[in-house]
């Protein structure tokens, strides 16, 4: 056993344990490290030897004398993977070329040859120029399963009586010939009687959700090509209930694909890892919480394989598969949608399930280097736990941020107790015999410790960016503010080292980050925000001025003097934070010297092919710049942004779609005069953009929040004009009121005596006219309802009780987090939807008032920001309480909070007024002023509007 190793214990970390021996990796169990330290033949792997696992396999495996180890390139770390396991495939010594069968191809009418799978995909996806593909398939008489399935689909799809349909039917095999072809393939492949027709039926669904549903209804294994198409990267699978059914079928049937006859378990199929990887990618994109169900299925499959035999070959194969599964069950930036919360607790639970499974075996499976890295990547993206928060509070304000003991317990605590979980996992990896690379050192820096042992500022990091991060770049990022980052930027790792484009990118990012709010509860590294710089008391003004970081323009000039052209992430940061479009074009014109495709962003004529070669990050930054222009050319720029986005994305399903269209949505909410259109046209434009997002990747919670802000902006424009008119006319504004769209929202409230009548009257109203605020708010309410129904559908079959109640709550995809609830509650107040405000508050109390969750919240010293609803309660009291009955409704809500046991404090009048005074703009005061007139109108004549009798 390696000396000095921290003692480990199974189970999740409990916050109350001694910090001196806190378990930083909740489920890296003791035996994992024991099996990594000592070989089964009694020898030991030196800690600095990078091929220790391979030595063990050479000594233990009966086939160790023959083939050399495989070395594959890791896109994640930019280096070769550790050569841990022997390849299990045997080479054909007599004729190696015979091992690979030639891929069946078919000639396209354009003369080029394509695989049968490409033809089947074209038939199913039906691109604009699909006719030549259909003709080639119809004419083919290849005895291929893919071609026969494509012909069956064409037979079913082709309409008789049309010229094109009749011509295609003449080219297709006759019904008799098709029966003969199907019978021949069925006998040759030993399939069921109607199997091929069932496969074609599955693929002929109108969309991917229906194809997936038919696969579940079929309930048996299908050819790999059917699965590859349904689970292709561009697949539009969105129904989580169907995905859950697919996982259940996968658990029973293994890979879901047809295997060769014989007793071989399906985990040994060459398709097992491929199908599992495709499922992981879709679940990570659509519903990461379902990954836990998939991990349980994988765990049961590996368990069956381990129990099927105890040979060394079986053990080696299971170890290799085990580590591959640890790698695919980690969050990757390239898979997760933008602006969506990463459910790292669920990814960690997937890995924990696999680690726990390994512990049930007499001979536990061994974690290799890449397995450790996968675990570290997952832990690096998780929020700080209680121990890490405590360590962050002990950082000195100066640099390096050495830990300063806060009490006697801190003084006697071992340094290891203050390591982050990721850093400790790195130490365990070294103890297991796997040397760290520069990428590992960079991750250590980002998560709290430099290679020399000095502390850094732990950042929440999402791995999987497919590029290596140098230790220099990591040191710039692992700081609290631009001042500290500038010091790291000027601290080169060697005298001859010069900063490159990535180091400049990290510094530009620090210079452009927002400052943290003074009242924020965030700790440094929790979010990408700058904290106030620390100035030593004895530092003279001139010395302080000399050490200040440069401006973005000054640093850019320094970079240009070093002959460095911005590219990649550096160019993205510059364009995204450019002060104006001209500056952004200057950056792009220079970058186009390295990549001519970048010029297509500025070209008068849109070049689709060139646009699609531009990186998504840069494209997103440029669209955001175009959309936020607020000048006389605002409409032209917004039109340009829409045209570029349609050309670049089209109907393609991509994780960037919601973010890019969200920028356009934000730009469309500026004043309608800047867009040179009427207010009703602007409302229809905003809703068309929202529906465009929904039709593609689907609306996210970030898009929902932006929709709410858009409606409030439009209402604010009307209220501002109204209040200006009121001031000019001495309290009367009947003329302007009759012309404003916001009138429809508040006049309906004037004519009803109480909230019950208001709700009834609202239900009996005719559907609102398109282009009105009422139409807009009804759409927002509908989106809220869809989120709620989708989440309810997931919760009915959820099996995630092993995740902490708070993590489960914060991972939900409906409006339950305080930041999203605040946006919706405020919008409802602006739009006069007071009964909906009441329903929303009761919904939040019910969802957050679950006993297990309440127990966890009460045990916390301080509520997390997303669980703090003090602002939501203030908005309810400001805008909704008086319109719903005043004290009676307030008492009802207070009783509901008290009955739930939630640690929420009902805001008093002073707190509410303080919140209103802290508002960033005066619109909430304007809304309250209008509502006071509404209440006055209720007390007075019911036949008049609130601003006079002009209607």
DSSP readout, 208-262? HHHHHHHHHHH-S-B-HHHHHHHT-TT-----HHHHHHHHHHHHHHTTSB---SS
Dist. CA 449–CA 90, nearest whole Å: 44
Dist. CA 813–CA 842, nearest whole Å: 18
Please report the pLDDT score of residue 254 as a whole number: 65
Segments in 140-220 forming alpha helices (H): 145-157, 163-171, 175-189, 195-203, 208-218
Residue pair 696/665 in contact (Cβ under 8 Å)? The answer is no
Q: Write down the domain spans for the chain.
A: 1-84+368-469, 103-181, 700-951
Residue 319 is given by DSSP the state H
**What is the radius of gyration, based on Cα positions, of the chain?**
31
Question: DSSP letters along 446-491, please?
Answer: HTTB-TTS-B----------SS---HHHHHHHSSSSHHHHHHHHTS
The residue written with tokens 């796997």 in the block is 434
> Please, which residues have CB within 8 angstroms of residue 520's CB and are 6 or more apart in sequence?
529, 865
The residue length of the chain stands at 951
Please report the pLDDT score of residue 344 as a whole number: 82
Positions of the chain with pLDDT lower than 70, given as ranges: 1-103, 159-163, 254-269, 339-342, 408, 410-411, 463-466, 537, 630-633, 725-743, 747-766, 800-801, 919-922, 934-951
Each residue of 4-22: b (16+ CB within 10 Å) or e? eebebeeeebeeeeebeeb
> Hey, what are 854's tokens?
């309440």
Count CA atoms closer than 13 A to 201's CA, side-chain side. Answer: 11
pTM here is 0.82
Dist. CA 801–CA 799, nearest whole Å: 6
Dist. CA 416–CA 22, nearest whole Å: 9
Each residue of 298-323: b (16+ CB within 10 Å) or e? bbebbbebbeeeeebebbbbbbbbbb
Question: DSSP letters along 88-110, please?
Answer: -PPP-SS-GGGGSPPPPEEE-TT
pLDDT in tens, 653-709: 778 888 999 999 999 988 888 888 888 899 999 999 999 888 877 889 999 999 999
Please measure the distance between the N-terminal and C-terminal CA atoms of the chain and give it in whole angstroms. Answer: 86
Residue pair 637/673 in contact (Cβ under 8 Å)? The answer is no
> Hey, what are 568's tokens?
């990649």
Segments in 592-678 forming alpha helices (H): 608-611, 616-627, 634-649, 657-667
Strands 113-115 and 105-107: antiparallel
Tally of CB atoms within 10 A around 173: 18
Dist. CA 173–CA 417, nearest whole Å: 73
> Please, which residues have CB within 8 angstroms of residue 860's CB and are 6 or more apart in sequence?
none
Please report the pLDDT score of residue 511 as a whole number: 95
Please report the pLDDT score of residue 486 as a whole number: 94
């Amino acid at each position: 056993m390696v000396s000095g190793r921290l003692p480990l214990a199974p189970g999740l970390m409990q916050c109350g344990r001694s910090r001196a021996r806190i378990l930083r990796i909740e489920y890296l169990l003791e035996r994992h490290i024991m099996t990594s330290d000592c070989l089964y033949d009694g020898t030991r792997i030196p800690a600095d030897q990078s091929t220790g696992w391979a030595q063990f396999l050479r000594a233990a495996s009966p086939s160790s004398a023959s083939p050399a180890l495989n070395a594959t390139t890791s896109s994640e770390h930019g280096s070769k993977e550790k050569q841990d396991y022997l390849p299990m495939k045997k080479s054909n010594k007599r004729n190696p070329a015979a091992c690979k069968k030639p891929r069946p191809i078919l000639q396209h009418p354009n003369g080029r040859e394509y695989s049968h799978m490409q033809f089947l995909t074209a038939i199913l996806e039906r691109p604009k120029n699909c006719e030549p593909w259909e003709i080639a398939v119809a004419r083919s008489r290849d005895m291929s399963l893919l071609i026969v399935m494509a012909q069956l689909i064409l037979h079913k799809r082709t309409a008789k009586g049309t010229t094109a349909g009749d011509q295609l039917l003449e080219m297709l095999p006759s019904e008799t010939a098709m029966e003969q072809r199907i019978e021949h393939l069925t006998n040759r492949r030993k399939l069921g009687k109607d199997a091929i027709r069932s496969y074609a039926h599955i693929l002929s669904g109108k969309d991917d959700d229906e194809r997936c549903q038919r696969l579940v209804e079929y309930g048996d294994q299908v050819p790999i090509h059917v699965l590859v198409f349904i689970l292709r990267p561009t697949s539009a699978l969105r129904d989580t209930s169907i995905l859950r059914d697919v996982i259940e079928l996968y658990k029973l049937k293994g890979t879901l694909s047809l295997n060769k006859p014989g007793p071989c378990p399906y985990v040994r199929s060459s398709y097992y890892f491929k199908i599992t990887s495709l499922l992981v990618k879709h679940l990570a994109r659509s519903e990461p919480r379902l990954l836990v169900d998939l991990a349980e299925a994988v765990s049961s499959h590996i368990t069956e394989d381990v129990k099927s035999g105890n040979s060394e070959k079986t053990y080696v194969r299971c170890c290799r598969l085990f580590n591959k599964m640890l790698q695919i069950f980690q969050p990757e930036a390239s898979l997760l949608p933008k602006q969506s919360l990463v459910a790292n607790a669920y990814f960690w639970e997937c890995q924990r399930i696999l680690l726990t499974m390994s512990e049930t075996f007499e001979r536990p499976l061994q974690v290799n280097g890449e397995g450790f890295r996968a675990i570290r990547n997952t832990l690096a993206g998780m929020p700080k736990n209680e121990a890490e928060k405590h360590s962050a509070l002990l950082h000195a304000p100066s640099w390096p941020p050495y830990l300063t003991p806060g009490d006697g317990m801190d003084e006697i605590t071992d340094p290891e107790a203050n390591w982050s979980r990721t850093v400790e996992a790195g130490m365990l990896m070294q103890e297991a015999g796997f040397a760290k690379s520069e990428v590992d050192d960079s991750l250590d820096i980002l998560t709290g410790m430099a290679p020399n042992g000095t502390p850094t500022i732990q950042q929440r990091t999402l791995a999987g960016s497919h590029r290596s991060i140098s230790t220099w770049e990591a040191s710039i990022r692992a700081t609290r503010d631009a001042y500290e980052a500038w010091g790291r930027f000027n601290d080169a790792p060697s005298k001859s080292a010069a900063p490159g484009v990535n180091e400049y990118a990290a510094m530009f990012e620090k210079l452009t980050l927002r400052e943290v709010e003074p009242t924020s509860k965030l700790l440094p590294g929790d979010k990408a925000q700058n904290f106030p710089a620390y100035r030593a008391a004895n530092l003279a003004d001139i010395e302080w001025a000399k050490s200040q970081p440069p401006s973005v323009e000054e640093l850019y000039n320094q970079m240009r003097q070093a002959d460095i052209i911005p590219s990649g992430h550096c160019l993205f940061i510059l364009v995204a934070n450019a002060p104006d479009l001209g500056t952004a074009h200057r950056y792009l014109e220079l970058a186009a010297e390295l990549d001519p495709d970048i010029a297509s962003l500025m070209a008068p004529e849109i070049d689709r092919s060139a646009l699609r070669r531009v990186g998504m990050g840069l494209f997103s930054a440029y669209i955001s710049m175009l959309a936020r222009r607020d000048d006389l050319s605002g409409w032209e720029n917004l039109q340009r942004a829409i045209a570029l986005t349609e050309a670049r994305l089209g109907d393609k399903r991509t994780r960037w779609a919601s973010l890019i269209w969200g920028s356009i949505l934000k730009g469309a909410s500026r004043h309608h005069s800047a867009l040179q259109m009427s207010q009703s046209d602007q409302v229809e434009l905003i809703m068309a953009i929202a529906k465009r997002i929904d039709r593609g990747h689907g609306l996210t919670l970030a898009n929902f929040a932006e929709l709410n802000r858009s409606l409030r902006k439009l209402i604010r424009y009307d209220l501002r004009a109204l209040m200006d008119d009121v001031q000019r006319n001495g309290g009367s504004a009947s003329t302007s009121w009759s012309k404003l769209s916001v009138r429809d929202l508040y006049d309906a409230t004037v004519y009803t005596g109480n909230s019950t009548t208001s709700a009834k009257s609202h239900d009996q109203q005719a559907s609102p006219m398109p282009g009105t605020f009422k139409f807009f708010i009804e759409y927002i309410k509908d989106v809220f309802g869809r989120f709620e129904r989708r989440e309810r559908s997931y919760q009915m079959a959820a099996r995630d009780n092993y995740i902490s109640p708070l993590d489960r709550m914060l991972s939900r995809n409906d409006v339950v987090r305080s930041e999203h609830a605040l946006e919706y509650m405020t919008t409802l107040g602006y739009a006069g939807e007071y009964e909906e405000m009441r329903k929303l508050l009761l919904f939040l109390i019910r969802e957050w008032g679950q006993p297990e969750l309440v127990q966890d919240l009460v045990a916390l010293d301080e509520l997390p920001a997303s669980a703090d609803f003090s602002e939501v309660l203030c908005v309810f009291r400001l805008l909704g309480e008086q319109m719903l009955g005043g004290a009676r409704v307030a008492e009802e809500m207070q009783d509901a909070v008290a009955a739930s046991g939630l640690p929420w404090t009902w805001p008093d009048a002073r707190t509410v007024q303080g919140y209103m005074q802290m508002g960033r703009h005066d619109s909430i005061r304007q809304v309250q002023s209008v509502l006071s007139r509404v209440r006055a109108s209720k007390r007075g004549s019911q036949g008049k509007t609130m601003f006079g009798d002009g209607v």
